[in-house]
Amino acid sequence: MEKREMLYEGKAKQIFKTEKEDELIVYYKDDATAFDGEKKGQIYNKGIMNNRISNFFFEYLEDRGIKTHYLQDINQRETLVRSVEIIPIEVVMRNIAAGSLSRRLGLEEGTSLPEPVLEFYYKDDDLGDPLINESHIKILDLASPGQLAEISEMAGKINELLVDFLQERGIDLVDFKLEFGLTGDQEIILADEISPDTCRFWDSETGEKLDKDRFRRDLGDVEAAYQEMLRRITGNEEM
Ligand code: UDP
């Protein structure tokens, strides 16, 4: 495929057109941001590690019946994906209390939740991605009730698959964020990425954080944590 002009630049990725209308190239950067872009930095080789980790998860999910935008690995930092119209809802699934859930509900970080918690956030930087509910989604017309039901079901299934996969590798999946998109024929598929940038991964034995919280909270050893997650997930040391 041919890499053409840049269509969009986000905080951690760039998106390029290709010669095909319905295919895009994602380029993973090393840039890291937190707290609505207030904190900025770089995580050495993060782009390479997230590209590998996310592609691994997407292939894993595809093999188990989840439709995703993933098409083909191109190189260390680039992946070919299906072009979609991103549904402006950040879908968060949680198994253990942490982060904003702990703050909002006064639950101590690390508290196991009796069942997975599903949340929706309105993907809008100017508004600071506020928490929204089904009524809000309806009045803002972000997705139809049928689409939202489908997204919720997919998120629950993805959670089960990832929890099982990671448990076998000594990782607790605390929470994670998903984004979905609509294809040209209105099919809902999983888009964006699944990586230590978008998930909380805790070592099951030690509780050590192996995700972006190391950057957000200045815990140090950020690169080593991403590297360790790459190793646990793919079983491979090298990038
Ligand atoms: N998350 C994300 N992008 C966002 C907000 C959250 O990928 O813009 C992920 C985050 O990495 C975590 C989960 O969603 O795995 C829940 O995040 P939370 O609401 O607890 O946010 P925070 O504590 O970072 O404010």
Residue of the nearest CA to atom 23 in ligand 1? 99
- Residue 61: name the closest of 157, 140, 169, 135 by CA: 157
- State yes or no: pLDDT of 1 exceeds 70: yes
Q: Which tens digit of pLDDT belongs to each residue from 174-223?
A: 999 999 999 999 999 999 999 999 999 999 999 999 999 999 999 999 99
Q: Is the pLDDT of residue 84 over 70?
A: yes
- d(CA 91, CA 121) in angstroms, rounded, equals 7
Last residue of a domain, one of 32, 53, 82: 82
Q: State yes or no: pLDDT of 238 exceeds 70.
A: no
Q: Is the pLDDT of residue 237 over 70?
A: no
Ligand 1 neighbour 175 (Cβ under 6 A)? yes
Indicate if 75 and 119 belong to the same structural domain. Answer: no
**How far is residue 195 from each of residues 51, 95, 135, 150, 229, measured CA to CA in Å?**
8, 17, 30, 23, 9
70 bridge partner residues: 81
**Rounded CA separation 113/105 (Å):** 12
The 8 Å CB, 24+ separation contacts for 147-151 are 147/87, 147/188, 150/188, 151/87, 151/89, 151/91, 151/180, 151/188
Whether 111 and 209 share a structural domain = yes
Q: Which domain holds residue 102?
A: 85-221
Considering only CA atoms, give the Rg of the chain: 17
Q: Which helix (H) or strand (E) holds 151?
A: helix 145-167
Residue 36: per-residue pLDDT = 87
Is 232 within a domain? no
Domain co-membership, 75 together with 95? no
Indicate the number of domains in the chain.
2
User: What is the position in ligand 1's atom list of the atom closest to the CA of 212?
Assistant: 11
- Cβ of 45 below 6 Å from ligand 1: no
Could you tell me if the CB of 100 is within 6 A of ligand 1?
Answer: yes
Same domain, 75 and 99: no
Residues 96, 64: Cα–Cα separation, whole Å: 24
Condensed to tens digits (0 to 9), the pLDDT of residues 19-43 reads 999 999 999 999 999 998 899 999 9
**pLDDT number for residue 236:** 79
For residues 176 and 93, membership in a common domain is answered with: yes
Mutate to test the pocket of ligand 1, among 43, 194, 198, 199 (most ligand atoms within 8 A of CB): 198
Verify whether ligand 1 is closer than 6 Å to residue 101 (CB atom). yes
Banded model confidence at residue 239, pLDDT cuts 50, 70, 90: low
Type of residue found at 43: I
**Looking at 29, 60, 82, which one is the last position of a domain?**
82
In a domain, 25, yes or no: yes
Residue whose CA is closest, atom 25 of ligand 1?
Answer: 100
Phi then psi dihedrals of residue 112, to 5 deg: -70, 135
How far apart are the CA of 177 and the centre of ligand 1, in A? 6
Can you give the pTM of this predicted structure?
A: 0.97
Q: What is the CATH number of the domain that holds 11?
A: 3.30.200.20
CATH code, domain carrying 155:
3.30.470.20
